[in-house]
Amino acid sequence: MTFSSVVFLFIFLPVTFLLYTVLKNHTARNVLLAAASLIFYAFGEPIAVFIMIGSIILNYIFGLAVSKEKHAKLMVVLAVVLNIGMLFAFKYTGFFMQTLKDISGADLPVPSIRLPIGISFFTFQGLSYVIDVYRDKRLVQKSLFSVLLYISFFPQLIAGPIVRYEDIAAQIRDREFSSERVSRGIRRFIFGLGKKVLIANQMGIIADTVFSYAPSDVGFFPSWVGAVCYTLQIFFDFSGYSDMAIGLGCMFGFDFKENFNYPFISGSIQEFWRRWHISLSTWFKEYVYIPLGGNRKGKARTTLNKLCVFFLTGLWHGANFTFIVWGMLHGMCQLFETYQIIPTKKKWFRPFGHIYTMLVVILAFVLFRADTLTQGFGIIGNMFTGNMGSDAVNSEINSMLSTMFVVALCFAVLLSTPVFRVIGEKISDKKGAVAAEYVSYAGSLLIFMLCILSLISSKYNPFIYFRF
């Protein structure tokens, strides 16, 4: 079940919200949300839901164990080993066996294990709970239902944002439920739905077409079109999902932190990662980079720590060398900026900073999207060598650049910048605020209607981050 499915929009969400409104007891509301979250996950993963429940119970027990002084350090290490071990077993066993087979030439069996949706997210949240309790034993949760709700809460269960337990513990115990929050949450949800359905899906159709062909068949211009479309697709797909998750959380009284902050206006890769997938960056910083020593143990150690973090960031996204190279490319650029090999802090470079950043981001996303490194570098080669490709393939891709696509592209460019936020701030006086509120309601209704029409008329509706 996805947020942009008819089942979710017209059955699951209305029923869950109605029951939540009827119930007045806080504990009963928590139990309802936990039960609804399990149903939400089981709808698409009827077997894997037991894996998630097992993970939750395991981390609940570890939380109780690390809250005690005796053997707390041993327990947190064991929790890390078992959580990462489970993630490795499901997500990376086949990849590493295939790699070992290719390197050694041995006839090794390569298992095909179905990846439970969202395992990367709920595993990291489980670890966050145990580690946060280890750091502050007052955060320990005696109620299994509360831990279940934290890890499985359906708005952020299968594609984030990754919510740290420390940030949400108080809200599980007590939170505000009001008409103002519901209204704000609905509008944020619809805004995210529009980004996903009206922009990301339009970009995705073309990106998928470009990457479905061998690089030698795709010409110079279609290669650039595919690269730019995928960059916009993954941003609006994932940021749209995050907006929907934040909106849903707000409707039920939860405040999730922002996950994106206009990353495409960045003037460096370092700035890009302060604005892109903020919850993942924060998680790796708090639970990997700082425990490894951060920047406190000299330049060599800092360099190693940063490369380790970006290697793991790439590997977290998937069991493929394309993701690892994507992560390492970003890591190397960050190091070059840190040591000013790429002079992002020089005044003369600043006008070129945005161009450099977007070029790195787009090229890296080509590798991220490609099925193999060969395909990825082939597309990148087309972008800079003027490959002619196949006339038939180029014509097919060019024919897809319809008026609807151009409109979606224009909105994508506008929404990649804070232009509408700036306008909102400029009309923040009393009269302007009231007018903006009415425009916001009308705009939300229009976006929702267009989304429904699009969902009814098209079967193309994937969520990119479900695969991670």
pLDDT (mean) for 105-120:
81
Q: For the ranges 197-211, 220-234, 400-414, 425-439, which has the lowest average pLDDT?
A: 425-439
Residue 330's pLDDT band (cuts 50, 70, 90): very high
Shared-domain flag, residues 44 and 158: yes
Residue 258 and residue 142 share a domain: no
Do 260 and 155 sit in the same domain of this protein? no
CA–CA separation, 307 and 2 (whole Å): 34
Query: Does 423 map to a domain?
Result: yes
Q: Are 16 and 43 in the same domain?
A: yes
Residue 248 is assigned to a structural domain of this protein: yes
CB 379 within 8 A of CB 367: no
Within this chain, do residues 166 and 251 fall inside the same structural domain, yes or no? no
Q: Is 103 inside any structural domain?
A: yes
Residue 296 binned pLDDT confidence (cut-offs 50, 70, 90): confident
Q: Residue 226: which pLDDT band, with cuts at 50, 70 and 90?
A: very high
Confidence of residue 359 (pLDDT cuts 50, 70, 90): very high
Predicted confidence band at 334 (pLDDT cuts at 50, 70, 90)? very high
**Which of 175, 205, 240 is the C-terminal boundary of a domain?**
175
Query: Residue 423: pLDDT above 80?
Result: no
Identify which has the larger pLDDT, 461 or 320. 320
Both 157 and 197 in one domain: the answer is no
| 279 located within any domain | no
Closest C-alpha to 244, from 1, 426, 439: 1
Whole-number pLDDT of residue 227: 96
Residue 414: per-residue pLDDT: 94
Tell me if 260 sits within 8 A of 280, measured CB to CB.
Answer: no
Res 228: pLDDT: 96
Confidence (pLDDT) at 104: 80
Which of the listed residues 110, 144, 175 is the one where a domain comes to its end? 175
Domain range enclosing 115: 6-175
CB distance 389 to 222 below 8 Å: yes
Closest CA to 306 of 283, 334, 274: 334
How far apart are alpha carbons 261 and 338 in whole angstroms? 22
Output the pLDDT for position 16: 95
Residue 430's pLDDT is 63
* Domain identity same for 223 and 75: no
Average pLDDT value over all residues in the chain: 89
156 and 214 belong to one structural domain: no
pLDDT at 461: 66
The C-alpha angle 245, 9, 256, rounded to 5 degrees, equals: 10
DSSP 284-323: HIIIIITTTTTTSS-HHHHHHHHHHHHHHHHHHH-SSHHH
C-beta of residue 359 within 8 angstroms of C-beta of residue 313: no
Share of the chain above pLDDT 90, in %: 56
Mean predicted confidence (pLDDT) in 140-168: 86
Q: Do 94 and 87 meet the contact criterion of CB atoms below 8 Å apart?
A: no
What does the pLDDT look like over 14-56, one tens digit per residue? 999 999 999 988 889 999 999 999 999 888 778 888 999 999 9
- Give a yes or no: residue 22 inside a domain: yes
Average pLDDT estimate for 349-365: 94
Q: d(Cα 439, Cα 390) in Å, to the nearest integer?
A: 47
Q: Global pTM?
A: 0.91
How far is residue 51's CA from residue 60's CA, in Å, rounded to a whole number?
Answer: 14
Range list of H helices, 45-164: 48-66, 72-91, 93-104, 119-135, 144-152
Residues 267 and 272: their CA atoms lie apart, in Å, by 8
Q: Are residues 43 and 131 in the same domain?
A: yes
**Any catalytic annotation for residue 317?**
yes
Instruction: Fill in the DSSP letter of residue 467.
Output: G
Give the pLDDT confidence score for residue 243 in this predicted structure: 94
Domain-embedded: residue 59:
yes
Q: What is the DSSP letter of 160?
A: -
pLDDT recorded at residue 111: 82
Given this model, what pLDDT does residue 322 score? 94
Tell whether 14 is covered by a domain.
Answer: yes
Which among 263, 278, 270 has a CA at the least distance from the CA of 335? Answer: 270
| 225 and 249 inside one domain | yes
- Phi-psi region at 262: left, alpha or beta (left = phi > 0; alpha = psi -120 to 50): left
The pLDDT assigned to 220 comes to 92
Q: How confident is the model at residue 466 (pLDDT cuts 50, 70, 90)?
A: low
pLDDT at 318: 86
Contact 233, 264 (CB under 8 A): no
| In-domain check, residue 147 | yes
Q: Assess whether 44 and 103 both reside in one domain.
A: yes
Active-site residue, from 277, 317, 330, 354 = 317
467 vs 402 pLDDT, higher one: 402
pLDDT at 431 > cutoff 70: no
The pLDDT of residue 233 is above 80: yes
Asked whether residue 68 carries a pLDDT value surpassing 90, the answer given is: no
Residues 125 and 262 in one domain: no
pLDDT tens per residue across span 254-291: 999 899 999 999 999 999 999 999 999 999 999 999 98
- Residue 429: pLDDT band by 50, 70, 90 thresholds? low
- Choosing from 124, 144, 175, the residue where a domain stops is 175
If one counts the domains in the chain, the total is 2
